[in-house]
A = this chain, B = another copy of it.
Amino acid sequence: MSDVQHTTGKSLGSLGSAGVGSGLRRRDFLMRTLAIGGSGLMLATMKAWGVDLASVRTSPPRLSGSGRGKRVVILGAGLAGMTAAYELSKFGYACEIIEARGFAGGRCQTARRGFELTELGGERQVCNFDEGQYINHGPWRIPFCQQSTLHYTREFGVPLELFNNDNDAAYVYKENIDGPLAGKRLRQFEIKADMRGYTDELFAKTLRAGKLNDQLSEGDRALLLDYLVHEGYLNKKDLDYKGTTARGYKTYPGVQSGVQTDPLQFGDLLKSKLGNIYRSTNDIEQQKTMLQAVGGMDHVAKAFERRTKKMIRYNTEVVSLRNTDSGVVLQCKDTRTGAGRTVKGDFCLCTIPLSVLKQIDTDFSDDFKDAMQVAYEPVGKLGVQMKRRFWEEDHFIYGGHIQTDIKGATLISLPSTNWQGQKGTLLSYYNFGAMAAQVSAMSLKERTDFGLAAGEKVFPGQYRDSAESSFSVAWHRVKYNLGGWADWSEAGRRTAYPRLLKGEGRTLLAGEHMSHLNGWQAGAIESAWHQIEQLHARLSA
Residues of B within 8 A of A271 (CB): 223
Residues of B within 8 A of A450 (CB): 12, 16, 19
How many whole Å from A109's CB to the nearest CB in chain B?
Answer: 15
6 contacts between A and B (CB under 8 A): A2-B485, A162-B416, A167-B289, A169-B287, A189-B281, A202-B224
Please tell me if the beta carbons of B396 and A145 are within 8 angstroms of each other in the complex: yes
Question: Which single member of B233, B261, B408 contacts A52 (CB below 8 Å)?
Answer: B261
Please tell me if the beta carbons of A254 and B517 are within 8 angstroms of each other in the complex: yes
The answer to whether A365 has its CB under 8 Å from any CB of chain B is: no
Copies of this chain per assembly: 2
The answer to whether A337 has its CB under 8 Å from any CB of chain B is: no
Residues of B within 8 A of A4 (CB): 377, 379, 432, 484, 519
With CB as the reference atom, state the residue of chain B lying closest to A230: B276
Q: A145-B252, A196-B280, A410-B5 are in contact. Are A438 and B485 (CB under 8 A)?
A: no
Question: Which single member of B1, B400, B411 contacts A516 (CB below 8 Å)?
Answer: B1
Residues of B within 8 A of A379 (CB): 4
Residues of B within 8 A of A514 (CB): 255
Complex alpha-carbon distance, A11 and B438, angstroms: 8
Q: A7-B431, A288-B169 are in contact. Are A53 and B249 (CB under 8 A)?
A: yes
Please tell me if the beta carbons of A456 and B23 are within 8 angstroms of each other in the complex: yes
Instruction: Tell which of A96-104, A113-121, A520-528 binds the partner.
Output: A520-528
- Categorize the interface residue count of chain A: 35 or more
Please tell me if the beta carbons of B287 and A246 are within 8 angstroms of each other in the complex: yes
Residues of B within 8 A of A6 (CB): 432-433
The answer to whether A251 has its CB under 8 Å from any CB of chain B is: yes
Please tell me if the beta carbons of A435 and B7 are within 8 angstroms of each other in the complex: yes
Please tell me if the beta carbons of B52 and A285 are within 8 angstroms of each other in the complex: no
Residues of B within 8 A of A527 (CB): 254-255
Instruction: Tell which of A180-188, A296-304, A349-357 binds the partner.
Output: A180-188
Residues of B within 8 A of A9 (CB): 407-408, 433-438
Complex alpha-carbon distance, A122 and B421, angstroms: 43
Please tell me if the beta carbons of A398 and B289 are within 8 angstroms of each other in the complex: yes
Complex alpha-carbon distance, A233 and B267, angstroms: 23
With CB as the reference atom, state the residue of chain B lying closest to A245: B284
Residues of B within 8 A of A17 (CB): 453
The answer to whether A495 has its CB under 8 Å from any CB of chain B is: no
The answer to whether A168 has its CB under 8 Å from any CB of chain B is: yes
The 0/1 profile, CB within 8 Å of B marked 1, for residues 421-459 of chain A is 000000000111111111100100010011001101100
Question: Which single member of B55, B203, B215, B224 contacts A252 (CB below 8 Å)?
Answer: B55
Question: Which single member of B15, B159, B169, B282 contacts A407 (CB below 8 Å)?
Answer: B15
Please tell me if the beta carbons of B270 and A220 are within 8 angstroms of each other in the complex: yes
Please tell me if the beta carbons of B276 and A227 are within 8 angstroms of each other in the complex: yes
Instruction: Tell which of A126-134, A146-154, A319-327 binds the partner.
Output: A146-154
Complex alpha-carbon distance, A314 and B68, angstroms: 71
